[in-house]
């Protein structure tokens, strides 16, 4: 979600026909707002999320114009992460990244389970909806009985590839003892189904003694299931976890990998596989939500929850140079069709329709 906000906001701020203001729904991060906003974006206030979410669930107090320290002149207020403030005069757009809180509430935190009520109220009070995929757009229309014309799918962009493969292989070797490795990126949470990846890797690693697995990302919640899976793996000494990584190290881990693994249960978009494709790394992913829409035929797609199929797909990508080369070429072509400038253009069209509406 942060990647989307920064990518889209940076592209919008580069446009001469847009004046962009940023606000934050985080009291703990209030001192960071100005330094994280992209160049050309004016900073508003950062306000506490929890009490305002409770307030906005039932009233229109504390409008966006106050948060942005602007009495007038705001055309559109965009809530980029499930929550959009009320507004005095401005049109409103809320981004719904996925419907995990409705479809899989058992996989969500207490805060996330509040999102459907806030989305419903925003729609009822006139907000338009942005989704990152047609898959989620259809889900929103069905779940919230909203007119399809007021729900717009605009794909995310993907940043230009970077990272030194040699640095990634060195990092992997320090963690797993292997320079050849499979990598997975993202916050550790039940929806990502990383225990399945551990089981699939354990099967594949049995016949490939020089193969490691690197799981890069911070613990969210439910990390105990991953810990248990790693502890129970036969080849656990070849499984390394980095915790949170960013910037050069993150890019290097992707660039140096033999394969990128994405075993999710449900996804509203699937940006990490797209990042791997841009870097020329073959992707093995589950057919989770919007992943087939995003990846097209440029990834090895297997059924959700099927450990054996995931292991077989990994083995094929690792052992068949022809298969690998075809996926890499298709992945690069696929990733090239997703840009932040195109995302900003789609959002601007949505903003204009929301104002007119």
Mean pLDDT of the chain: 94
Q: Under 8 Å CB-to-CB from 276, ≥6 apart: which residues?
A: 254, 257, 260, 282, 283, 331
Q: What percent of the chain clears pLDDT 70, i.e. is strictly above it?
A: 99
Q: Which H or E run contains 232? A: helix 223-232
Domains 2-157+339-356 and 165-335 share a fold: yes
Average pLDDT over residues 92-120: 92
Task: Assign 86 a pLDDT band (cuts: 50, 70, 90).
Answer: very high
Axis-axis angle for helices 271-278, 321-335 (nearest 10): 110
Q: Quote the pLDDT of residue 26.
A: 83
Local structure of residue 89 (DSSP, 8 states)? S
CA distances to 37, 60, 71, 92, 343 from 74, rounded to whole Å, are 18, 17, 8, 10, 21
Q: Under 8 Å CB-to-CB from 53, ≥6 apart: which residues?
A: 25, 83, 111, 114, 118
pLDDT in tens, 254-293: 999 999 999 999 999 999 999 999 999 999 999 999 999 9
User: Above 80 in pLDDT, residue 34?
Assistant: yes
**Nearest to residue 281, comparing CAs of 310, 297, 257, 263?**
257
Q: Quote the pLDDT of residue 36.
A: 85
Task: Assign 71 a pLDDT band (cuts: 50, 70, 90).
Answer: low
Beta bridge partners of 129: 94, 151
Looking at per-residue pLDDT, the higher value among 204 and 46 belongs to: 204
Please tell me the pTM assigned to this model.
Answer: 0.93
**Nearest to residue 256, comparing CAs of 173, 348, 317?**
173
pLDDT in tens, 115-163: 999 999 999 999 999 999 999 999 999 999 999 999 999 999 999 888 8
Domain range annotation of the chain: 2-157+339-356, 165-335
Q: Quote the pLDDT of residue 253.
A: 97
Q: Which H or E run contains 168? A: helix 165-176
User: Above 70 in pLDDT, residue 114?
Assistant: yes
Say if CB 86 and CB 64 are below 8 A apart. yes
**2-157+339-356: CATH number:** 3.40.50.2000
Query: What is the Cα Rg of the chain in Å?
Result: 21
User: Above 80 in pLDDT, residue 214?
Assistant: yes
User: Above 70 in pLDDT, residue 72?
Assistant: no
Average pLDDT over residues 72-100: 93
The CATH architecture assigned to 165-335 reads 3-Layer(aba) Sandwich (3.40)
pLDDT in tens, 215-235: 999 988 788 999 999 999 999
User: Above 90 in pLDDT, residue 29?
Assistant: no
Cα distance between residue 183 and residue 314, in whole Å: 11
């Amino acid at each position: 979600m942060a990647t989307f906000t920064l990518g889209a906001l940076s592209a919008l701020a580069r446009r001469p026909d847009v004046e962009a203001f940023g606000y934050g729904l985080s009291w703990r991060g209030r001192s960071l707002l100005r330094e994280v906003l992209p160049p050309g974006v004016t900073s508003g206030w950062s306000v506490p999320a929890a009490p305002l979410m409770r307030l906005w669930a039932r009233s229109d107090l504390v409008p966006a114009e106050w948060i942005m320290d602007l009495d007038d002149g705001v055309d559109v207020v965009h809530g980029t992460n499930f929550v959009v403030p009320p507004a005095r005069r401005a049109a409103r757009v809320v981004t719904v990244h996925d419907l995990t809180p409705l479809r899989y509430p058992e996989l969500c935190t207490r805060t996330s389970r509040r999102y459907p009520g806030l989305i419903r109220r925003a729609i009822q009070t006139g907000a338009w909806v942005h989704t990152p995929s047609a898959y989620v757009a259809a889900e929103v229309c069905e779940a919230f009985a909203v007119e399809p014309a007021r729900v717009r799918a605009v794909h995310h962009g993907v940043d230009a590839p970077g990272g030194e493969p040699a640095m990634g292989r060195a990092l992997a070797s320090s963690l797993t003892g292997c320079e050849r490795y499979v990598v997975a990126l993202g916050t550790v949470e039940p929806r990502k189904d990383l225990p399945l990846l551990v089981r699939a890797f354990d099967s594949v690693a049995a016949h490939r003694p020089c193969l490691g697995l690197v799981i890069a990302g911070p613990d969210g919640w439910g990390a105990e299931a991953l810990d248990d899976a790693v502890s129970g793996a036969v080849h656990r000494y070849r499984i390394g976890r980095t915790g949170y990584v960013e910037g050069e190290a993150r890019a290097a881990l992707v660039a140096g990998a033999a394969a990128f693994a994405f075993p999710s249960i449900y996804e509203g978009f699937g940006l990490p596989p797209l990042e791997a494709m841009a870097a020329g790394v073959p992707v093995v992913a589950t057919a989770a939500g919007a992943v087939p829409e995003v990846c097209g035929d440029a990834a090895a797609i297997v059924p959700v929850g099927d450990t054996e199929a995931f292991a077989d797909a990994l083995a094929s990508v690792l052992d068949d140079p022809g298969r690998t080369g075809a996926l890499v070429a298709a992945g690069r072509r696929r990733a090239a069709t997703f840009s932040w400038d195109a995302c900003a253009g789609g959002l601007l069209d949505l903003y204009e329709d929301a104002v007119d509406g």
